[in-house]
Amino acid sequence: MHVELDGEDILLCNYRGKYYAVGYYCTHAFMPLEGGYLEDGCVGCPYHGAMFNLSDGSVAMPPANGGIRTYPVRVENDTVAVSATPSNDPD
């Protein structure tokens, strides 16, 4: 799902019971990653198939031009908390 937090567009994913927060836009043609697929620890872009590792945002499959941001996620009771400060800097 899309989350906007302090001006950051973030994609919040639940992959195999664990939450990940990553940049919302693919670095290939800057289309939303929302609606993509989760596979092998990656999020796949629904447009041209680029894949990004959920853990560090690195490119797992082209045609992406660079990695995406990742954001710290904390789960407490029934609340998922996401930090707007990225944990990496792929730019």
Residues that bind ligand FES (CB under 6 A): 26, 28-29, 31, 45, 47-50, 63-64
The nearest distance, CB 25 to ligand FES, in angstroms, is: 8
To the nearest 10°, the Cα dihedral for 6, 9, 15, 17? 20
CA distances 90 to 27, 36, 80, Å, are: 10, 20, 24
Q: First-to-last CA distance in the chain?
A: 23
Query: Considering the complex, what minimum distance in angstroms separates the CB of residue 60 from ligand FES?
Result: 12
Query: Nearest distance from residue 31's CB to ligand FES, in Å?
Result: 4
Q: Which is nearer to ligand FES, 3 or 31 (CB)?
A: 31
Nearer to ligand FES, 63 or 90 (CB): 63
